Amino acid sequence: MQYRALYFTVLGGLIFLVAASLGNGIADRPLDYSDWTYRAFRGVCHQLPERSFHIDGVPMAVNARCFGIFSGLLAGWLLIPVASARLFRQGWPGILLGCAVAVNVMDFSAGNLWVWNSSNFSRFFLGAFLGVGVVCMLADRFIKTTNKTD
């Protein structure tokens, strides 16, 4: 694998991201939006309680779509070391990422225009799709190819 230090740095960051996004419920603490876990995500997520999963009755620190994105990023990132470079050679990661962005934009827009009402689970899975799409775009740079001359 190439860029080992970068890979493990990002891995650590993603584990932190997913763990922190679980909010206070996972630590059996009451909801307090002034806690650091909630403040940390304020700039990147609307954190609406009705659009977030709850753990033990306490909303997570991010909404379902953001949690899906972070989970997809982490799941995809964990699979990079066991993936083959040939998987990412055909240009399909770009198509996958484009589709993931498009369906998320459509779902978000349609939800807010009351065309349809997504559930938290559908938002989570669409977000995860986007997270995995981002990792697929980056994966081949981390996988060492045998025919590469350094």
Q: Is the CB of 36 or the CB of 121 nearer to another protein?
A: 36
Residue 81 DSSP label: G
Residues that bind another protein (CB under 8 A): 3, 5-6, 10, 13-14, 16-17, 20, 31, 33-34, 36, 38-51, 59, 73, 112, 134, 137-138, 141-142, 148-149
The dihedral sign for the CA sequence 100, 122, 63, 108: positive
Smallest distance from another protein to CB 73, Å: 7
Smallest distance from another protein to CB 10, Å: 7
Q: Is the CB of 5 or the CB of 82 nearer to another protein?
A: 5
Residues, the chain? 150
Q: Is the CB of 90 or the CB of 112 nearer to another protein?
A: 112
Smallest distance from another protein to CB 83, Å: 16
Residues with Cβ within 8 Å of 13's Cβ and at least 6 positions away in sequence, in order, are none
The helix (run of H) or strand (run of E) holding residue 59 is strand 58-59
Q: Is the CB of 62 or the CB of 124 nearer to another protein?
A: 62
User: Is 54 strand, coil or helix?
Assistant: strand
User: Is 116 strand, coil or helix?
Assistant: coil
Smallest distance from another protein to CB 140, Å: 9
Q: Is the CB of 14 or the CB of 126 nearer to another protein?
A: 14
Spell out the alpha helix ranges (H) of 1-150. 4-21, 36-40, 64-79, 92-112, 120-142
Smallest distance from another protein to CB 45, Å: 6
